[in-house]
Amino acid sequence: MGLFDKLRGELIDIIEWLDPSNDTMVWRFERYNNEIKMGAKLTVRESQNAVFINNGELADVFGPGMYTLTTDNLPILSTLKGWKFGFESPFKAEVYFVNTKRFTDRKWGTKNPIMLRDPEFGPLRIRAFGTYEMFVDDPARFLTEVVGTDGRFTSDEIENQLRNLIVSRFSDIIGESKIPVLDMAANYDELGEFVTKRIHDDFASYGIALTKMLIENISLPPAVEEALDKRTSMGVIGDLHKYTQFQAANAMETAAANDGMAGGGMGMGMGFAMANQMGQAFAQQQPQPTHQPPAATPPVAAGAPPPLPSQKQFHVAIGGQQVGPFDMGTLQQKVTTGEITRATLVWSQGMANWTAAGQVADLVGLFAAAPPPLPPQ
């Protein structure tokens, strides 16, 4: 082997990069101290750019294609090297391949909740996350501003910075938009497009283009979501009064069918007792009519007996609930069954306060027929 062949073997005559990975953005062509032969073949594939660096200074940039390296297509490098008259000598230069394909499905999300003032719910904290797409739009700027002398630069090395830019702009836009939280789901596309336009210049300063940003979800704190679910359930139920009556009817049916309570009779009795209590509660919740003055007594015809006097009625406190009013006949029945005792509080029109039934003159006679309490055993 002659001296010329030996020197030729140490010269690089093919420069190319086949990317086996999915996350490499920049790769430096390793020369292993060999010189690049003038007339070497440079292959730049689609979605690639080749950048030549001479002594730390950016020289020539090649787009997709196959090139034969000469002083004609290395104008900047030729100027830097000072070749004159087409001197065809080998040269040394760093070659960086820049991946210009789209890097898709990049994740972004808020590390901490975003504080905002919602027009419907007041102060709220929300979280958001989604994806974005980007690619290297300006290889020269990307190398000088971001990569530097890194021999292999991956997308992971810049994702944190890009994510912080997106979250910062997104938080600002959400706060300024004044969009109610319940209406944000209908504006995901508009918000994504608006953030993409707002953040375009920030990405461009790195030599990167943001092509698309997607908002996948905007969520509320768990406690707020639970309260919102309850509110939604109330809206689905509709009339709460009718729904409670329906639930009471179902409870009666369940109690009547329960064989574990001394047979169906006891279960049905408990169901009726529950219905009675529910009915009394509903009666108390209904608005009471305002007091109307008694109607004028029609004149009595000559020879006709006068009208019967109106019977006095009493309200009674039973089980901590106000029930009634009851007339004297009903009160007598309740005294007989033991529902009303001498200590039961009652009130009627004209009385200043609730008073024990045994101390009301109109009711003393009701307890005369009632049996006395059993003597202690």
Domain of residue 211: give its range. Answer: 103-224
- Indicate if 150 and 77 belong to the same structural domain: no
Tell me the torsion sign for CA atoms 63, 68, 69, 72.
negative
Q: Do residues 243 and 214 share a domain?
A: no
Distance of alpha carbon 341 from alpha carbon 334, whole angstroms: 9
| Total count of domains within the chain | 4
> 153 and 59 in one domain?
no
Q: Encode pLDDT of 32-91 as tens digits.
A: 666 788 888 999 999 999 999 887 788 889 999 999 888 777 877 777 666 655 556 677
Of 45, 77, 99, which closes a domain?
Answer: 99
Verify that 90 and 194 share a domain, yes or no. no
Tell whether the model's pLDDT for residue 290 goes beyond 60: no
Boundary of a domain, candidates 70, 99, 128: 99
Same domain, 184 and 130: yes
Burial string for 203-217 (b: 16+ CB within 10 Å, else e) reads: beebbbbbbebbbee
Give the pLDDT mean for 346-372: 78
Does residue 293 lie within any of the structural domains?
Answer: no
Same domain, 280 and 255: yes
Give residue 203's pLDDT: 94
* Same domain as 250, residue 216: no
pLDDT digits (tens, 9 = 90+) for 212-238: 999 998 888 788 778 777 777 766 666
Predicted TM-score of the model (pTM): 0.56
160 and 202: one domain?
yes
Within-domain flag for 297: no
Q: Do 108 and 210 sit in the same domain of this protein?
A: yes
Say if residue 61 is in the same domain as residue 169: no
Q: Is residue 309 part of a domain?
A: no
CA distances, 267 to each of 275, 278, 319 (Å): 12, 16, 21
Same domain, 208 and 243: no
Q: Are residues 268 and 173 part of one domain?
A: no
